[in-house]
């Protein structure tokens, strides 16, 4: 670059006080370019540095102020429940249908929720089931210190725990897909609460996943099951269906207790940590599924995808446990040359069985 010294031109440093100057001269053509550039960028050069003049910057500041005002919680949005502040608002993408009997919520599959095949993971799917079930209660105003417990349950130190679950996957959503989850609840026997889920593609309405679970009440101090009496369930009655056929039936075959000596695959030394704990002070039932599936060999996971799963939760698990996952090909381990079946058992090494399960896997396309 050649600078031609013809006439003086002074520029204030952007970070200067006006005292320090860059003194150099430019040719007339360069001076015209500086003038045109100054007009195009809408800034002024003065003794105190560069001062923005563009109305765009002012508009940005005004927009940010409006966003901050909208985001700030107001006193009208807060209420006290059991002496604790709580935002009284419906989940942003969820809504109650059929007078509160059905709850519906949309999810966009995030990058953190997919596996190496770009499809949603089993753990993330089960998180959707739990999230919508709890948001159903929250939207209906059933929310206390317990994890989805009614006021009556909290007074009696009762919590919900999962007894068994069954899931059937027709098609896995992928990253950035939008899914719509519907959930509804109804009684099952004298002690159980049943929850059913239907997951569909938001854009096409195609059914992707169907699931059902049975919940029971447990005393969080004695860790023993309790009856679901009319008094305790009173707060939930408005959002429970009186009569309902299950959306999907669980596998009616008895789940087997496996002997490690006769298993096809064994994975030992599995250590749950504090990050696997949930608010009920035991290892999350969702995390236990991950540990159970550790007993499936990598060669199967690469060639097949899980399409059905039945689980029985038999004992609680603490974070200091050392687990062993045992898997064995099922009696119908090869179905139509396209699907294989496994029986599973997750137990404490040298101790009780935690989860018993059966899975079905289909060939990847």
The span from the CA of 312 to the CA of 332, in Å, is 20
The span from the CA of 298 to the CA of 144, in Å, is 43
Q: Name which of 115, 87, 90, 123 is nearest 104 in CA terms.
A: 90
The span from the CA of 197 to the CA of 180, in Å, is 10
Measured in Å, how far apart are the chain's first and last C-alpha atoms?
61
DSSP annotation string for 74-121? PGGGEEEETTEEEE----TTEEEEGGGTEEEEEEEPPGGGB-TTSBBP
> Six-digit token pair at 56?
């765009």
The residues carrying an active-site annotation are: 280, 282, 317
| Contact present, 329 and 340 (Cβ < 8 Å) | yes
HEC profile of 268-298: EEECCCHHHECCCCCECHHHHHHHHHCCCCH
């Amino acid at each position: 670059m050649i600078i031609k010294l013809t006439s003086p031109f002074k520029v204030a440093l952007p970070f200067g006080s006006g005292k320090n100057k860059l003194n150099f001269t430019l040719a007339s053509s360069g001076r015209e370019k500086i003038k045109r550039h100054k007009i195009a960028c809408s800034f002024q050069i003065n003794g105190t540095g560069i001062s923005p003049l563009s109305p765009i910057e002012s508009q940005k500041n005004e927009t940010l102020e409006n966003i901050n005002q909208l985001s700030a919680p107001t006193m009208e949005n807060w209420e006290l429940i059991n002496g604790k502040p709580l935002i009284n608002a419906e989940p942003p993408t969820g809504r109650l249908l059929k007078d509160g009997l059905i709850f519906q919520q949309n999810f966009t599959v995030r990058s953190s929720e997919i596996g190496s095949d770009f499809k949603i993971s089993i753990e993330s799917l089960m998180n959707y089931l739990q999230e919508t079930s709890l948001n159903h209660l929250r939207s209906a105003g059933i929310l206390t210190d317990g994890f989805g417990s009614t006021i009556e349950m909290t007074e009696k130190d009762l919590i919900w725990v999962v007894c068994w679950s069954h899931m059937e996957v027709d098609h896995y959503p992928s990253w950035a897909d939008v899914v719509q989850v519907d959930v509804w609840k109804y009684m099952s026997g004298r002690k159980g609460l049943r929850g059913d889920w239907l997951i569909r593609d938001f854009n096409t309405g195609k059914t992707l996943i169907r699931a059902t679970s049975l919940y029971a009440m447990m005393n969080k101090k004695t860790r023993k099951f309790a009856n679901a009496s009319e008094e305790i369930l009173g707060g939930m009655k408005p959002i429970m269906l009186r009569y309902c056929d299950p959306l999907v039936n669980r596998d009616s075959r008895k789940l087997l207790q496996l002997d490690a000596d006769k298993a096809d695959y064994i994975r030992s030394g599995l250590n749950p940590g504090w990050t696997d704990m949930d608010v009920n002070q035991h290892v999350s039932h969702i995390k236990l599924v991950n540990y159970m599936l550790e007993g499936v060999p990598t060669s199967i996971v690469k060639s097949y995808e899980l399409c059905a799963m039945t689980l029985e939760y038999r004992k609680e698990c603490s974070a200091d446990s050392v687990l062993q996952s045992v898997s064995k090909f099922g009696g119908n381990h090869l179905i139509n040359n396209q699907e294989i079946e496994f029986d599973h058992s997750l137990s404490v090494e040298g101790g009780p069985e935690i989860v018993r399960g059966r899975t079905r896997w289909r060939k990847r396309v």
